[in-house]
Structure 1
Amino acid sequence: MGWCPCSGNLDKAEKKKNKKLTRRHSKKIPSDKLKVNSESDIKKDSGSNHIAAYTFTFRELAAATKNFRSDCLLGEGGFGRVYKGRLESTNQVVAIKQLDRNGLQGNREFLVEVLMLSLLHHPNLVNLIGYCADGDQRLLVYEYMPLGSLEDHLHDLPPDKNRLDWNTRMKIAAGAAKGLEYLHDKANPPVIYRDLKCSNILLDEDYEPKLSDFGLAKLGPVGDKTHVSTRVMGTYGYCAPEYAMTGQLTLKSDVYSFGVVLLEIITGRKAIDNSKSAGEHNLVAWARPLFKDRRKFSQMADPTLQGQYPVRGLYQALAVAAMCVHEQPNMRPVIADVVTALSYLASQKYDPNSRPGQGSWSASSTPRARREQ
């Protein structure tokens, strides 16, 4: 399901004022107050003993959502409900996730998300404003993302909703890959996201994507270790096969999940769709035979594009997706190379007024992705 973050449309003066107010009401929380079941699950590489996160009372968040009124509801999932709200102290529009006390996401996932998003900052990661832990209430406060999730723009669209054009799809794919690259290559130690899917990619008013929902994130292997062993968690249809079978989690597990998302962006199909005929329920299983014949690539383009895409761009995007969902983890590209390829594709603007299926799209071949051996 897709709920969402980015701040409301405040002018510069308001933003400056809000920044001061927020800073005044913020509180540094000692990290030992936020311990999860195992201290090894969350380690900070910085020398600081404190994590900057804003704390809210339940009363403040109830006021922001008009007592969690139904017309403020953005959506709900296994974790609980997400509401649109406005903070009285700053007048900032936010998204407030209220964890269901009997839901699937427990206290540990709540703590992991607070810690992860307090420590990780990137334009393609959702911004956590703060949290509430009053009594048995667990709430997370994010920037509000006005366009919802990628899922909202790809699947089960009402007839009056605009379909994503090719340029916007490549922009979203490249931005999501950059968020994942930050987790894998810039965070220290690296972070394995573990729950990459369309409903967790949120869009701001300019269709810039941000990864959200870090409750399942894990610290990746360090030193000479190749993987971390953990319970198999995630969403069916997005999990890498080797992780699902062995519980051995690697950075390449995320790359597989990204490949599934990229296929959804290109084809408009769901990762798992039981309404399809036999053999087409699983997106990757449906796509694999088609990857072997370039003449069938055009069959994989989302029909709602109505032929308005660059043929070469389609082929190259499908080639990236095919490498990402390779059954052998060591044959998948590293995410940095995926970012290089997709950033290139996103930079090649397609003219939708050109002849269908052709387009005024000129490009040399995309950089070839390295594969780790």
Structure 2
Amino acid sequence: MPGNLIGKGGSSQVYQGCLPDGKELAVKILKPSEDVLKEFVLEIEIITALHHKNIISLFGFCFEDNNLLLVYDFLSRGSLEENLHGSKKNPLEFGWTDRYKVAVGVAEALDYLHNRCAKPVIHRDVKSSNILLSDDFEPQLSDFGLAKWASTTTSHITCTDVAGTFGYLAPEYFLYGKVNDKIDAYAFGVVLLELLSGRKPISSDYPKGQESLVMWAKPILNGGKVALLLDPSLGNNYDPDQIERMALAATLCIRRAPRARPKMSLVLKLLQGDAEVTKWARLQVNASEGSDMLDDEAFPRSNLQSHLNLALLDVEEDSLSMSSIEQSVSLEDYLQGRWSRSSSFD
């Protein structure tokens, strides 16, 4: 069975399985605890309410040998992360057309979650390893283990336990535990930067201060020098209009202030080539960035240090929580992209 392991998270492992008729499946096994049981029930509750071509389908679930099992369809090409950065990386196979197809498909999935399903959902863990690809690179958003029902009565909900993946965490969520659909938009912006640049969200392979994809890309995007951002493996094999639209979408999605980020419905229209929305996006990007600041005074700062420490925690799991935090880092160092334990980002 270890040979069939295809992924693992903080409290789960995912194995490839096969039915007698040959159908391939992905089996997520969770080690039960009181919290995990609640997450298991919520994940089933949410995923069974969703029906969209770009969202993974739940095949079944069970409780067996003191293990919680979720069974999903298996997608042959693996994750976007594997195809961009890992074992399945092949620039000749995964070119610009398919990258753009992935971007549009994931935008459709998020627009559906936020605006078009009966009860809005916040995914909370949008990242390239949670975007699975079919044979023809049709994406499916997966892993709803951290997902929450969105509040329909307040502008946001506040989580005392910040969970997610460093490099994709929106500042207001990372610093203050503030959650609404704009945290998914931010994480999607990071995914767009991965598709454009071929770089990981966090990597110690780059010079000091450039380990963070967002911090490296922002000045390039703000300076209008998108060509400097592009994955060299693309060569000249891309559509310049699509590059512009994806760069505009990424620029708007990774803005620090949640109010400055667009709704996913607008991001989708932008990626689909809507002329009016493209014009609007150009104006937004060219407008002053002065308002793009977090509303610090609106939030208590008491937990700021522990939230910052979370990002620097040297862990193997890709899902983080606010437990066992030991390391100390200053806000100034974090914002300037300086980390004292860059080895944890390998």
Q: TM-score range by the shorter chain?
A: 0.7 to 0.9
Q: Structure 2 matches for 1:1-150, cutoff 5 A?
A: 69-88=1-20, 91-100=22-31, 106-150=36-80
State the distance in 2 between where 1:344 and 1:76 align.
37
CA contact (8 A) 1:267 1:301 kept: yes
Give 1:330 shift: 1.0
Q: Compute the displacement of 1:329 (Å).
A: 1.0
Match status 1:246 vs 2:191: no
Q: Pick one of 147, 155, 169 that aligns with 1:217.
A: 147
Residues 1:250 and 1:160: Cα distance change in structure 2 (over 3 Å): closer
Residues of 1 paired with 2:273 and 2:145: CA distance? 31
Superposed CA offset, 1:15-68 (max 9, x none): xxxxxxxxxxxxxxxxxxxxxxxxxxxxxxxxxxxxxxxxxxxxxxxxxxxxxx
Structure 1 residues 245 and 261 mapped into 2: Cα distance closer, same or farther (>3 Å)?
same
| CA RMSD in angstroms, aligned pairs only | 2.5
1:193·1:214 contact (CA, 8 Å) conserved in 2?
yes
Judging changes above 3 Å, is the alpha-carbon distance between structure 1 residues 161 and 139 closer, same or farther for their aligned structure 2 residues? Answer: farther
Shift in Å, 1:365: 8.5
User: Deviation per CA, 1:194-248, whole angstroms, max 9, x where unpaired?
Assistant: 000000000111111011000101111213x100111211111111101111111
- Percent same amino acid at aligned positions? 39
Mapped partners of 1:342, 1:101: distance in 2: 41
Question: Counterparts of 1:77 and 1:123 in 2: how far apart (Å)?
Answer: 24
Tell me, which stretches of 5 or more residues in structure 2 are unaligned? 285-290, 292-346
**Aligned residue pairs: how many?**
283
| Counterpart in the other structure of 2:239 | 310
Contact 1:163/1:304, CA 8 A, preserved across alignment: no
* C-alpha deviation, 1:344, in angstroms: 2.7
Report if aligned partners of 1:99, 1:105 keep a CA contact under 8 Å in 2: no
**C-alpha contact 1:132 1:138 (8 A) present in aligned 2:** yes
- For 1:152, which of 82, 85, 91 is the aligned residue? 82
The verdict on how the C-alpha distance between 1:311 and 1:160 changes in structure 2, with shifts beyond 3 A counting, is closer
Q: Amino acid of the residue matched to residue 81 of structure 1?
A: Q
For the residues of structure 2 that align with 1:124 and 1:160, how far apart are their CA atoms? 23
Cα pair 1:80 1:98 within 8 Å, conserved: yes
Give the 3-state SS of the residue equivalent to 2:215 in structure 1. Answer: helix
Match of 1:271 in 2: 201
Conserved? CA contact 2:6–2:16, under 8 Å: yes
Q: Does residue 281 of structure 2 align to residue 281 of structure 1?
A: no
Per the alignment, do residues 236 and 227 of structure 1 end up closer, same or farther by CA in structure 2, a change over 3 Å counting?
same
Q: How far is the alpha carbon of 1:101 from its aligned partner?
A: 5.1
Query: In 2, distance between residues paired with 1:144 and 1:158?
Result: 16
2:234 & 2:276 partners in 1: Cα distance? 23
Cα distance, 1:115 vs structure 2: 1.3
> Is the CA contact (8 Å cut-off) linking 1:263 and 1:321 kept in structure 2?
yes
Computing the radius of gyration from Cα coordinates, the structure with the larger value is 1
Rounded Cα–Cα distance in structure 1 between residues aligned with 2:122 and 2:90 = 37
On the 8 A contact 1:79/1:105 being kept in 2, the answer is no
TM-score (norm 1): 0.70
For 1:326 and 1:92, how far apart are their aligned partners in 2?
43
Distance 1:156 1:210 in 2: 18
**Cα distance change on mapping 1:367 and 1:167 into 2, 3 Å:** farther
CA gap 1:162/1:308 in 2 versus in 1, 3 angstroms: closer
Q: For 2:136, which of 206, 210, 214 is the aligned residue?
A: 206
1:169–1:265 CA contact under 8 A, matched in 2: yes
Corresponding residue for residue 278 of structure 2? 366
- Structure 1 equivalent of residue 320 of structure 2: none
Name which of 110, 116, 127 aligns with 1:180.
110
Alignment match, 1:43: none
The alpha-carbon deviation at position 157 of structure 1 amounts to 4.8
Alpha-carbon distance in structure 1 between the residues aligned to 2:134 and 2:189: 22
What residue is the counterpart of 1:48 in the other structure? none
Query: 1: CA distance between counterparts of 2:252 and 2:104?
Result: 16
Deviation at 1:80, TM superposition (A): 3.1
- Contact preservation (8 Å) 1:95, 1:143: yes
Q: Could you say what secondary structure the match of 1:233 adopts?
A: coil
TM-score norm. by structure 2 comes to 0.76
Alignment of 1:225-244 (within 5 A): 225-230=154-159, 231-244=161-174
Shift of 1:70: 3.4
Q: Distance in 2 between matches of 1:83 and 1:238?
A: 25
Structure 1 unaligned residues grouped into runs of 5+: 1-68, 346-362
